[in-house]
Amino acid sequence: MRKEVLFAILAGVTLGLILAFGVWRANLALRSKDSPPEEPSEETQPQEATFGITLAAPNDFEVVSQSPFLISGITKPELFVAISGVEEDFVVKSDVEGEFKQEITLIEGVNEITITAFDADGVTIEKRLLIAYSTEFAKQVEASIPSPTQTEEETATEANEVREKVQEKVNEAMRVPKFVMGSVTDKLAGTIELRDLEGEIRQVSLSPDEAVFVKIAKTRTEVKFADLAIGDFIVAMGFANGNGVLEGKRILITTEFETSGREAILGTVLDPKKAEFTLKTVNDADELLIKNSEELTIFSQLGDEEEEIDFADLEEDQQVIALGVKDDANFVARTVVVVAEFPSL
């Protein structure tokens, strides 16, 4: 009798659990059916660029000996490309093949170049590079640039043709002058160790008797290797060896390099006044205040030729590219260029 009672109790508990689970599932299904669908988040995600910028010249951290220097490269066809140097700015348009080029004046020493491309959707892509301009370096190393010997050229055979071509590319890369810069952390008889702007430790090999050391303050003074101190900020110019280590030929001891923060922004003119206007950016709809100043130059590309215009000539809803430095809600512009609207698709 006791077993029968126990079985009855167990059966009742099991049946109750089954009924309770069924009711819970039914209620859950009804709530899901009656609940409104979740609305997508209003937060807009920035569009990813489907294009890039590839430079033909110059290379990053290259030493050049001529100014003006031709900046050239390729991107998506028919885009606006803003090129900003230390002292001047330009806006050009890539051709139907995507190619663009512009001569830019360099200053002696390290130059920061910013290249920005914009498409019709307001998507922006930017490339920054550093190049060093030095006419003295070119004179100093003109006779010491590595070049293939006659014996090397005569040893090329069909069997090692591929190897020779690879070696030729390596030699060509080694003949391109490069530079590194940073604060000196250690110095030995034939090596300088420095910490670059990214915090990486770099090495420069050199011959202290052959390398030229120049200290730049109010004047330029040629000094000796012994005058170089730990903590000095240097720009070391030379050629990379087979291990990628720079063989220093000319070492500039100077003040620490600081990036400019310059950028280019595409937007439209809102509420233009006598001495200021609001720039509404295309890509994220920010509003930045741009004020007139003696340093600001304004150009218009709406005609057949680019022409300089006055601040008062800016009009509501004109599309412009502003080049300068962002400062909170203000944009300290050095150059503003009025450009044509992208054609509607």
Spatial CA neighbour of 333 closest among 315, 318, 312, 311: 311
Residue 207 lies in a domain: yes
Residue 20 has pLDDT above 90, yes or no: no
Last residue of a domain, one of 254, 285, 310: 254
199 and 141 in one domain? yes
103 and 173 in one domain? no
246 and 146 in one domain? yes
pLDDT band at 174 (very low <50, low <70, confident <90, very high): low
289 and 239 in one domain? no
299 and 286 in one domain? yes
Last residue of a domain, one of 222, 254, 286: 254
For range 286-299, the mean pLDDT: 96
d(CA 183, CA 199): 10
Residue 294 lies in a domain: yes
246 and 169 in one domain? yes
Q: What is the CATH number of the domain that holds 226?
A: 2.40.50.140
Residue 33 lies in a domain: no
Reduce the DSSP state of residue 281 to 3 states and report it.
strand
Q: Which pLDDT score is estimated for 157? A: 58
257-272 residue pLDDT tens = 999 999 999 999 999 9
Which one has a higher pLDDT value, 15 or 227?
227
Q: Which pLDDT score is estimated for 13? A: 45
222 and 148 in one domain? yes
Residue 64 has pLDDT above 50, yes or no: yes
Residue 314 lies in a domain: yes
DSSP 8-state code for residue 283:
T
For range 289-317, the mean pLDDT: 97
109 and 144 in one domain? no
310 and 230 in one domain? no
129 and 143 in one domain? no
Q: Which pLDDT score is estimated for 42? A: 47
309 and 282 in one domain? yes
Burial environment of residue 330 by CB neighbours within 10 A (0 to 12, 13 to 18, 19 or more): middle
Q: Which pLDDT score is estimated for 50? A: 82
Q: Which pLDDT score is estimated for 101? A: 98
Q: What is the CATH number of the domain that holds 123?
A: 2.60.40.10
For range 11-29, the mean pLDDT: 50
β-strand pairing of 212-216 with 109-118: unpaired
Range of the domain at 237: 137-152+162-254
Q: Which pLDDT score is estimated for 121? A: 84
97-122 residue pLDDT tens = 999 999 999 999 999 999 999 998 88
| Mean of all residue pLDDT scores within the chain | 85
Residue 329 lies in a domain: yes
107-166 residue pLDDT tens = 999 999 999 999 988 899 999 999 999 999 988 887 555 555 554 455 555 556 655 554
DSSP 8-state code for residue 108:
S
Residue 34 lies in a domain: no
Residue 84 lies in a domain: yes
Question: In total, how many domains does the chain have?
Answer: 3
pTM of the model: 0.78
Residue 235 has pLDDT above 70, yes or no: yes
Q: Which pLDDT score is estimated for 23? A: 46
DSSP 8-state code for residue 282:
T
For range 26-53, the mean pLDDT: 57
303 and 279 in one domain? yes
Q: Which pLDDT score is estimated for 25? A: 53
Residue 16 lies in a domain: no
Last residue of a domain, one of 220, 254, 288: 254
d(CA 273, CA 75): 36
Q: Which pLDDT score is estimated for 345? A: 46
d(CA 45, CA 39): 16
β-strand pairing of 297-300 with 262-270: unpaired
pLDDT band at 46 (very low <50, low <70, confident <90, very high): low
Helices (H), the chain: 2-34, 135-141, 150-154, 161-174
